[in-house]
Amino acid sequence: MSVKLTTRQVGDVTVVDAAGRITLGEGASVFRDTIRDLVAKGNKKLLINLSEVSYIDSSGIGEMVSGFTTVTNGGGQLKLVGLSKRVKDLLQITKLYTVFEAFDDETVAVGSFK
Amino acid sequence: MEKLQTTLESTLQSVDHAEELVMLEAGKAGFDEDGQHQIGMAVRECAVNAVVHGNRYNKNKKVHLDVERTATGITVVIGDEGEGFDVNSIADPLAPENLLKQSGRGLLLIRAFMDEFDMHPRPGGGTEVRLVKNLASE
């Protein structure tokens, strides 16, 4: 299964619910296209919900970093919520925990946007 | 000792297949779910390198996968038929100036998940990587 992304609005925060695998190929390109589309439509507060993501490879990590750069360069914020232990481990290994603001609780995450 | 050898096409489907196959072997070798996941991910990263950077999706070039289960763990060898690869050409993905780069993290993950990692020219051309994970490291 590749990744499935659905978006919903919580106040002025756009929550992207991701499910499946974000890996080289369809998964990573779907993720990239979705983030770019949301930014192009003027969404500046993006919260990526990874609680149903079972697997991210280095290409998927790369797309998350690229999405982060795209959003922040446009004056927005991109944050993460619902990381599994494996995804948290990936952020530790790659030191990307210093880049991404990550939360366990969605309400707290939504409230953190300025 | 159990040995498995297979040859794969230079496609992303082969990457998925290599990952699934080695995870299955890792389970038979006695690795738990986390261990299987780490081995599978390392193999996936190597297989991507072989298909994308080594063989460049060339239909005439193959990916060679050898898996060996031993009493102490698992050894995986993945070879491509590409032009060769200089491991030193990869920038340190942990350097502050590289943290926001989109690519370059594959080898970092492989080294983090496996006990041994070796990359060398493949006899006959291309690049070969050898991965080892010991059961004792779980």
- Checking if the pLDDT of B138 tops 80, the result is no
- Asked if A96's CB is within 8 angstroms of B48's CB, the reply is no
Of A65, A69, A93, nearest to B112 by CB-CB distance is A93
- Checking if the pLDDT of B90 tops 90, the result is no
The reply to whether B39 touches chain A by the CB within 8 Å rule is: no
- The H or E element containing residue A91 is helix A85-93
Q: Is B70 helix (H, G, I), strand (E, B) or coil?
A: coil
State chain B's mean pLDDT as an integer.
Answer: 94
Of A25, A94, A98, nearest to B12 by CB-CB distance is A25
Sheet (strand A77-81) strand order? A4-10, A13-22, A45-56, A77-81, A102-103
In chain A, where the domains are located: 4-106
> What's the confidence (pLDDT) of residue A1?
59
pTM attached to this predicted model: 0.92
The reply to whether A87 touches chain B by the CB within 8 Å rule is: no
Residues of B in contact with A59 (CB under 8 A): 48, 103
Tell me the HSE value of A110 on the side-chain side, using a 13 A CA sphere: 13
A104 vs B137, more confident? A104
- Checking if the pLDDT of A71 tops 70, the result is yes
- Asked if A69's CB is within 8 angstroms of B103's CB, the reply is no
Contact A14, A31 (CB under 8 A): no
Residues of A in contact with B53 (CB under 8 A): none
Tokens, residue B117: 């990692």
Superfamily of domain B2-137: Histidine kinase-like ATPase, C-terminal domain (3.30.565.10)
Residues of B in contact with A62 (CB under 8 A): 101-103, 105
- Percent of the residues in chain A that have a pLDDT greater than 90, as a whole number: 92
Residues of A in contact with B106 (CB under 8 A): 58
Q: Domain A4-106: give its CATH architecture.
A: 2-Layer Sandwich (3.30)
> What's the confidence (pLDDT) of residue A90?
96
Q: What is the arithmetic mean of pLDDT over B99-116?
A: 95
